[in-house]
Structure formats: structure tokens, C-alpha cells
Amino acid sequence: MEHPQRRHELCRPHPALFNLSGLCTASPSGLTGWAQINGRDELPIPQKVALDAEYLQRQSFWFDLKIIWLTALKVIRSEGVTH
């Protein structure tokens, strides 16, 4: 049986951003996240931190599904890739 928190391994903020802002000191990274689908490399770090903080406030099973769906669309369309 899968642990309920396992779903958060797919969608999580990236810890390096949180170390810069002091929001969190130990947060495992995920495969995708709210900041990654809202600009990724095009966003300045403070805006990425704000989006990751928003994710932490809004995180839920349905929000994670939305992020996974939007990630899949961006991958299929090759959107947001700068390098």
C-alpha cells in the first residue's frame, strides 16, 4: 500500500530556492513544481521562491494533479525550454 505522502515526491519545490530565501531548510526536491510550469528558467529567483511558497500553501492532491497535467502538456509542446 502506498503512503499518502508519496504523491508529493512528484510535485515539490526545489530546495535550493528555499535555502536562498530562508523559507525552508530541508525539503526534498520533486520532478516538477508550480514554479517550473510557470516560467522555469525565465523567472528570476525571487519570483520562483514566491511560486514555490504559493505551492506550499495550496498543496493538495488535486493541485498536484493539475501540476502534473500542465507539466505533461509543456513537455509535449516543448514549452519553456531555454537550454
How many residues are there in the chain? 83
- Please state whether the predicted TM-score (pTM) of the whole model is above 0.95: no
Q: Give me the pLDDT at residue 73, please.
A: 93
Q: 10 falls in which pLDDT band (50, 70, 90)?
A: low
Cell numbers for 16: 535550493
- For residue 33, being part of any structural domain is answered with yes
Q: Strand, helix or coil at 32?
A: strand
Residue 4 lies in a domain: no
In a domain, 82, yes or no: no
Average pLDDT for residues 51-79, to the nearest whole number?
90
Whether 26 is covered by a domain: the verdict is yes
Q: Are 30 and 13 spatial neighbours (Cβ–Cβ below 8 Å)? A: yes
Would you say residue 23 lies in a domain?
yes
Domain encompassing residue 52: 13-77
Angle at 48 between CA 54 and CA 78, to 5 degrees: 105
Number of domains in the chain: 1
The Cα 55–Cα 25 span in angstroms is: 16
pLDDT tens track for 16-62: 544 454 554 445 667 888 988 998 778 888 898 899 889 989 989 99
Would you state the cell numbers that stand for residue 11, as one nine-digit string? 510535485
